[in-house]
Amino acid sequence: MNAKMTENRDGAARHVLLKDYLTMTLAILLSAIGVYFFKFPNHFSTGGVTGFAVVLAQLIPGVTVTMLSNLMNIALLGIGLVLIGRDFGIKTVYCTLLLSALLFLFERYIPLDGPLTDEPLMELMVAMLLSATGASMLFHIGASSGGTDIVAMVLRKYANLYSIGTALMMTDFLAAAATFFVFDIKTGIFSIFGLLMRGALLQAVLNTLRQRKYFHIITEDAQAIEAFIIEKLARTATVFEGHGAYSQGARSLIVTVVNAREAVLLKNYVKTYSPHSFLLITNTNDIIGRGFRNAL
């Protein structure tokens, strides 16, 4: 029995690891598309290493934005490995190298002479949407794309700042503000606006990815509903025994948390097979416990 349980746990761990790497690959691909095709040609500097690369490439002749971004990412990766040590995650290494490789391939095989369109606001919105979606996917699984995230980790460890978020905000704002002086007021305004937009989009996408449904089911058919939750949804629940305040009849309160797809199945089952049950369904974002990712 123990060997079987260990085998099942190992299999589940491999499945989660594979899913994480597929998620990271997709997230970095979205970010790379947003950066190379929309951010770089318009000189948008909305924070991060790519933002600083946009500014510095304008000041250093003979160096492309992609080349400078990749050099800075690799350098910061080395610094992170040295200063943070074993706490520096393999996921960050993977994401940093993948982003650098994709930007290099894009520049080599799909060179750009300028923006794709003459609508900079539209391109800024696309760039921020892709960037925020990619970053949210990474945060959701506890990964990082490297870059200024590494700077923030180092600052947090050695400068005793309140949080990584504080350090990121400081570095991102500096990158965006620099565009006023290196380019022009228009580019600077777009960069500041993009930085604010990215933060709002990132939080919105992250909340969507984390969202779960919290069920309170007051019922006389507890056994059937428990069986459905366990056997069909592969979830579990907590059951409290009680009674109706008016009728004084026996009741059970079933408490469980499921994802959006499972919520539809559970709601439909209860409505069909236990129509007299009372349902309270609440949206929740931060779930800590077995079967769910810890809140970040």
Whole-angstrom Cα distance, residue 168 to residue 164?
6
Domain-embedded: residue 148: yes
Please name which of 198, 203, 204 lies closest in space to residue 44, comparing C-alpha atoms. Answer: 198
The encoded tokens of residue 130 equal: 């892709």
Please give the tally of structural domains in the chain: 2
Residue count of the chain, please give it.
296
Phi, psi of 278 (to 5 degrees): -110, 125
Please name which of 285, 274, 273, 235 lies closest in space to residue 256, comparing C-alpha atoms. Answer: 235
Domain range enclosing 267: 211-284
Whole-angstrom Cα distance, residue 72 to residue 155?
17
**DSSP three-state, residue 221:** coil
Asked if residue 96 and residue 227 are part of one domain, the reply reads: no
User: What pairs with residue 292 in β-bridges?
Assistant: 289
Asked if residue 225 and residue 178 are part of one domain, the reply reads: no
Burial of 279 (0-12, 13-18, 19+ CB in 10 A): middle
Asked if residue 195 and residue 86 are part of one domain, the reply reads: yes
Whole-angstrom Cα distance, residue 170 to residue 276?
55
Whole-angstrom Cα distance, residue 159 to residue 188?
29
Whole-angstrom Cα distance, residue 83 to residue 96?
17
Whole-angstrom Cα distance, residue 280 to residue 260?
15
**DSSP three-state, residue 64:** coil
Asked if residue 278 and residue 192 are part of one domain, the reply reads: no
Asked if residue 160 and residue 144 are part of one domain, the reply reads: yes
Query: Angle at CA 20, nearest 5°, toward 19 and 21?
Result: 95
Q: Which of residues 178, 209, 240 is at a domain's end?
A: 209
Asked if residue 233 and residue 175 are part of one domain, the reply reads: no
The encoded tokens of residue 23 equal: 């998620």
Please name which of 171, 174, 177, 205 lies closest in space to residue 190, comparing C-alpha atoms. Answer: 177
Domain-embedded: residue 289: no
Q: Sign of dihedral through CA atoms 208, 128, 152, 169?
A: negative
Asked if residue 104 and residue 51 are part of one domain, the reply reads: yes
Query: Cβ of 104: how many Cβ atoms within 10 Å?
Result: 16
* pLDDT value of position 170: 74
Asked if residue 65 and residue 17 are part of one domain, the reply reads: yes
Spans of the chain below 50 pLDDT: 1, 5, 8, 295-296
Whole-angstrom Cα distance, residue 80 to residue 49?
14
Whole-angstrom Cα distance, residue 10 to residue 89?
20
Please name which of 44, 75, 198 lies closest in space to residue 148, comparing C-alpha atoms. Answer: 75
pTM exceeding the 0.75 threshold for the entire prediction? no
Domain-embedded: residue 195: yes
* pLDDT value of position 295: 42
* pLDDT value of position 39: 92
**DSSP three-state, residue 25:** helix
User: Quick one: angle between helices 48-59 and 164-182, nearest 10?
Assistant: 30
Asked if residue 215 and residue 205 are part of one domain, the reply reads: no
Amino acid identity of 223? Q
The alpha carbon of residue 158 and the mean position of all alpha carbons in its chain are separated, in whole angstroms, by 26
Domain-embedded: residue 152: yes
* pLDDT value of position 11: 60
Asked if residue 156 and residue 272 are part of one domain, the reply reads: no
CATH number at residue 245: 3.30.70.120
Query: Cβ of 166: how many Cβ atoms within 10 Å?
Result: 12
Query: Angle at CA 294, nearest 5°, toward 226 and 160?
Result: 160
Domain-embedded: residue 294: no
Q: Which of residues 209, 243, 263 is at a domain's end?
A: 209
Q: Which of residues 149, 175, 209 is at a domain's end?
A: 209
Domain-embedded: residue 296: no
* pLDDT value of position 260: 81
Asked if residue 196 and residue 58 are part of one domain, the reply reads: yes
Asked if residue 222 and residue 179 are part of one domain, the reply reads: no
